[in-house]
């Protein structure tokens, strides 16, 4: 009986440690969809650094981040716990609200989409990671507010990103791709 309890305690400690590491240090995640082609592919597994999220680090231009796309609601620590990959796996749940995108704009930036080309603060962005040229869409302009970022997928013609869901609050950045 002592041996069984020793195993139970060991497994419980491993479970708790896995959750804590996933909440505060790093965690695996899976890319869902083709919005980051050709850089990342559908179903590709990646590791996410949670240190940036834990310590309030702001991602830099070009960083690939994992975001909670539900920007119309406030995120809480409870969300972080319940959305941990191990707990989602136990529940058999894939979360379609977690997006993998690239940081295009930071607070104060003025982004402009003109003639299917993207400009940041008046300068044309060189984006060698794009899958293909953007299909024509209306000219638009955004100013990124404080406490937010602007993200887009590398496969712009097939990406649900800040053009559609809006600015991403820092609290909705779940981590940065390692």
Check: CB of residue 49 under 8 Å from CB of residue 178: yes
- Catalytic residue status for 35: yes
Confidence at residue 146, expressed as pLDDT on a 0 to 100 scale? 96
Checking if the pLDDT of 96 tops 70, the result is yes
Q: Are strands 45-49 and 140-143 parallel, antiparallel or unpaired?
A: unpaired
Residue indicated by tokens 């796309």: 69
Q: Can 52 be counted among the known catalytic residues?
A: no
DSSP character at residue 66: E
Residue 122 has pLDDT above 80, yes or no: yes
**Does the pLDDT at position 98 exceed 70?**
yes
Extract the tokens encoding 136: 């024509």
Contact 150, 111 (CB under 8 A): yes
Assess whether pLDDT exceeds 90 at residue 143: yes
66-75 residue pLDDT tens? 999 899 999 9
pTM of the model: 0.87
Mean predicted confidence (pLDDT) in 99-111:
97
Pairing of strands 98-105, 110-114: unpaired
- Mean pLDDT over 76-100 rounds to 83
Catalytic residue among 50, 52, 69, 101: 101
Distance between CA atoms of residues 169 and 46, nearest Å: 22
| CA nearest to 15, candidates 75, 77, 78, 90 | 90
Please state, in angstroms and rounded to a whole number, the distance separating the CA atoms of residues 71 and 147.
12
Question: What are residue 87's phi and psi, to 5 degrees?
Answer: -70, -35
């Amino acid at each position: 009986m002592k041996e069984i309890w020793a195993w139970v305690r060991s497994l419980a400690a491993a479970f708790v440690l896995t959750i804590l590491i996933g909440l505060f240090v790093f965690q695996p995640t899976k890319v869902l969809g083709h919005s980051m082609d050709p850089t990342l592919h559908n179903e590709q597994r990646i590791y996410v650094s949670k240190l940036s999220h834990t310590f309030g680090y702001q991602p830099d231009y070009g960083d690939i981040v994992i975001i909670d796309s539900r920007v119309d609601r406030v995120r809480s620590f409870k969300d972080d716990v319940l959305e941990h990959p191990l707990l989602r796996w136990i529940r058999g749940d894939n979360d379609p609200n977690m997006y993998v995108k690239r940081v295009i704009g930071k607070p104060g930036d003025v982004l402009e989409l003109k003639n299917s080309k993207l400009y940041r603060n008046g300068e044309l962005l060189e984006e060698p990671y794009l899958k293909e040229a953007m299909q024509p869409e209306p000219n638009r302009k955004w100013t990124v507010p404080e406490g937010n970022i602007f993200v887009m997928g590398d496969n712009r013609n097939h990406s649900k990103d800040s053009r559609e869901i809006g600015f991403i609050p820092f609290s909705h950045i779940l981590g940065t791709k390692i």
